[in-house]
Amino acid sequence: MNDYIDHKWYFTAAEMRCLSIPKKADAGLRSTMISHGFRSSKKDFTFGPWRVTTAKNHIMKSKDIERLTEEMNLPSLPEMLFGDNILRIQHSNGFGIEFNAIDALKRVNKSEHTVKVACAQQWQESRAVSEQSQDVVRPYDWTFTTDYRGTLIGEEMQMKVTETTERINLEKLRAREQIVFFDEILLFEDELHDHGVSMISVKIRVMPTSFFLLLRFFLRVDGVMIRIHDTRLYHEAGKNYMLREFCKRESNITELKSVPASLYTDPNEIAQHLTLKLRECEKLELPEQEAVNEDLQ
């Protein structure tokens, strides 16, 4: 693959101005969102000791939804749940990290609302009727907000998570490096009974000397608020760790009066206008100094 990819989805607009990276179009790589009508597919890409696996499948069947709803102790699940979609980054020694919808939903608050608005009760009641539930709908986070950051994998060994002050190096990401692999996966999406949207997706790009991933949860409750949870994951060849940055941004619509409403539906554009609520930086340390002699090519 000899093309360069649009870096926009990795950063807020403010970060993009800092990077000042020109675009080189490739329609196959720069889709704005995955179509819901795609065929099931699986990709494997190996680079150095790492393998990236992505799987795209159809929306879960109703019988599987019913079983999962009971298992997760949630009154309802997102309308479009891609339970078999996955993005996995795995070392040849078995450890790594993966991203999937089921684990993301495990981080949803099961006992109370995180967004209390007039439409919440109406939404829950209508959802219960549509799913033919005979139970009284109890409070839970009807927006499916999640602070999911990925799932560590490995039977014999796993990466160790530690806090750090080190940040992802934007200077190195400024270079127009060749993209040898790119993919994006939608995990779930819900239109909140026509009151907005709640969705989470993950994207990855692999370069000759590094890989970079963005997991994004985006919530818009029309007329009320906008929330974005971003997890960025970066690994550079020769380093014995990955860097993971998690950010929470959120603003009420009343705080966004100076922002054109047309931006509300574009996570890349609206992110720079939202208030930063939390930033946490972590190292995911590779076991036994695995990356000292690593070569991604």
pLDDT > 70: percent of the chain: 75
How long is the chain? Answer: 297
Strand, helix or coil at 1?
coil
Residue ranges for the chain with pLDDT beneath 50: 1-7, 9, 13-36, 132-136, 291-293
d(CA 93, CA 136): 48
With beta carbons less than 8 A apart as the criterion, state whether 108 and 140 touch.
Answer: yes
**Of 33, 85, 86, which Cα lies nearest the Cα of 57?**
85
The pair phi, psi for residue 132, each rounded to 5°, is 55, 40
**Of 160, 45, 157, 153, which Cα lies nearest the Cα of 97?**
153
pLDDT tens-place string over residues 232-283: 999 999 999 999 999 999 999 999 999 999 999 999 999 999 999 999 999 9
- In this prediction, residue 17 carries a pLDDT of 44
- In this prediction, residue 120 carries a pLDDT of 54
Strand, helix or coil at 13?
helix
Amino acid identity of residue 294, one-letter, is E
